[in-house]
Amino acid sequence: MTLAGTVLGIARFPVKSMAGESLPEAELRWTGLAGDRQYAFVQQGHHGRFPWLTGRDLSGMVRYRPRFVTPEDTRNSAVQVAAPDGADFDLRDPALADRLSADSGKPSQLIQMGRGVFDAMPVSVITTASLAMLDSLHGAALDARRFRINILVDSDAPDTEWAGRMLEFGGGARLLVADPAPRCAMVTICPDTAQRDAGVLRSVAQHFGGNLGMYAAAARLGMIRVGDPVRLLA
């Protein structure tokens, strides 16, 4: 067992493609972090493999800030959403779906998925070393929120070294790290302004083969907390 680093940040995303919540701790379930990507907006009449309304269709979605009203019960909690213009919505308010539909030009409706709306695997993890490497190669510091990662680990090692390995956190929760996470146009969107910078995706493609961060899945349930030591199991 080797000390791999320390948990520096935890984020969950109650609504797919909207802003994330920075958390001091999160419960790891078989479906991922409690409450992560539990909701999404689906384009009506879309029968393809990716029916979701996301920032790729409407950059401004990343500036909507959802929060669980009862965070200790994410399965049943109401969700409030602060819009970029200061308006506040209940997530289930049809007026919110109407606004997103009008702004995107794609009529959409809300769905809830208890096991999470994930593109691939339920948890993502990245190290500060990998982010620093990207900053250096890109030639400018990038906001880590662009990459919508669940767990940020302060480590001197790139996370790609963890592929196929097990990570154990301070309280005993474990993640099985799988493969690098492919990146799309979402990383071009500034989380504060929603402006796009195609150069970010070019840098990820040129220097990292289009991948950044690692996908993972729960191997042992438990709590993950900021400040937890992260151990790499043999």
Q: Are 213 and 180 in contact (CB under 8 A)?
A: yes
Give the C-alpha separation, 51 to 41, whole Å.
9
Residue 6 and residue 230 in contact, taking contact as beta carbons nearer than 8 Å: yes
Q: Tell me how far apart the alpha carbons of residues 202 and 134 are, in angstroms, rounded to a whole number.
A: 11
Query: What's 217's domain CATH number?
Result: 2.40.33.20
Residue 86: what pLDDT? 96
How much is the pTM?
Answer: 0.95
Encode the chain (234 residues) as per-residue pLDDT tens digits: 899 999 999 999 999 999 999 999 999 999 999 999 999 999 998 888 899 999 999 999 999 999 999 999 999 999 999 999 999 999 999 999 999 999 999 999 999 998 899 989 999 999 999 999 999 999 999 999 999 999 999 999 999 999 999 999 999 999 999 999 999 999 999 999 999 999 999 999 999 999 999 999 999 999 999 999 999 997
Could you list the residue range(s) of the whole structural domain that residue 86 is in?
2-232
Q: Could you give the number of structural domains in the chain?
A: 1
